[in-house]
Amino acid sequence: MRTSDLRRAAALFRGPPVLPRLWFFTDPERTPEPWRTATQLPAGSAVVYRHFGAPDRLVTARRLQRLCVRRGLRLIVGADAALARAVTAAGIHLPERMAAEAASIKQQEPGWIVTVAAHSAERARASCCADAIMLSAIYPSQSPSAGEPIGLPEGGRIAKSAPAPVVALGGVTVACARELARAGFAGMAGINLFVE
């Protein structure tokens, strides 16, 4: 994906200035060298590093953090507060099963961006302590954890009524950025969004 296309897509979204508009989610299998993809992201974007217990996670996280600092990106570590602290990341992303931890993490690390995953309107409404909610899957997705797509109309309703800005995840592409922004999303996230 070209950086200029991503920059134009990011410009369509509105939300708090502190929050990125584009969120690249890493995956050990689909993005084994996430720093390569991160070099294509426009400044202000986020890299959500999900290591899933990889033995080299500290080395990779440090490499990503150095790259993020150089390129004006934000490193968000998935589900691992200790690793986020170790590399001075900008925040943490919590899967839906860990969303209840958002409040205590915000108290411990008030400067962090704390995001949570939600797969339904009910879970999105319960995410009041998060800085942003990653709602998925909006469209059909190749991700094994995606489940049935929520769809744009319902996703937009959730985005407009949620207690925090909502980022669209799951099957999103640059081509649908305008309709996502019009529906009330504060940004978009994915893996294939950045590697296709």
Distance from C-alpha of 10 to C-alpha of 7, rounded to nearest angstrom:
5
Q: What is the per-residue pLDDT for 143?
A: 72
pTM listed for this prediction: 0.96
Residue 95 sits in a domain whose CATH number is 3.20.20.70
Per the DSSP assignment, residues forming a β-bridge with 91 are: 76, 113
Given its phi and psi angles, is residue 94 left (phi above 0), alpha (psi -120 to 50 degrees) or beta? beta
Q: Render pLDDT for 18-56 as a digit per residue (tens, 0 to 9).
A: 999 999 999 999 999 999 999 999 999 999 999 999 999
Q: What is the per-residue pLDDT for 162?
A: 97
pLDDT classification of 142: cutoffs 50, 70, 90:
confident
Instruction: Extract long-range pairs of 112-118: CB within 8 Å, 24+ residues apart.
Output: 112/84, 113/18, 113/19, 113/46, 113/74, 113/76, 115/48, 115/76, 115/91, 115/167, 117/93, 117/169, 118/158
Q: Please give the helix or strand (H or E) that residue 59 lies within, else none.
A: helix 57-71
Given a cut of 90, whether residue 83 has pLDDT beyond it is yes
* CB neighbour list of residue 90: distance below 8 Å, 6 or more residues apart: 46, 68, 74, 75, 76, 112, 113
Given a cut of 70, whether residue 1 has pLDDT beyond it is no
Query: Taking all residues of the chain, what is their mean pLDDT, rounded to a whole number?
Result: 95
Q: What is the rounded average pLDDT of the residues 168-187? A: 97
Given a cut of 90, whether residue 66 has pLDDT beyond it is yes
CB 35 within 8 A of CB 63: yes
| Domain, as residue range, for 165 | 3-195
Structural domain tally of the chain?
Answer: 1
pLDDT classification of 196: cutoffs 50, 70, 90:
low
Q: Which residue has the higher pLDDT, 86 or 128?
A: 86
Given a cut of 90, whether residue 144 has pLDDT beyond it is no
Given a cut of 80, whether residue 2 has pLDDT beyond it is yes
Which of these ranges, 99-103, 108-112, 141-145, has the smallest mean pLDDT? 141-145
CB 112 within 8 A of CB 106: yes
Q: What is the per-residue pLDDT for 38?
A: 97
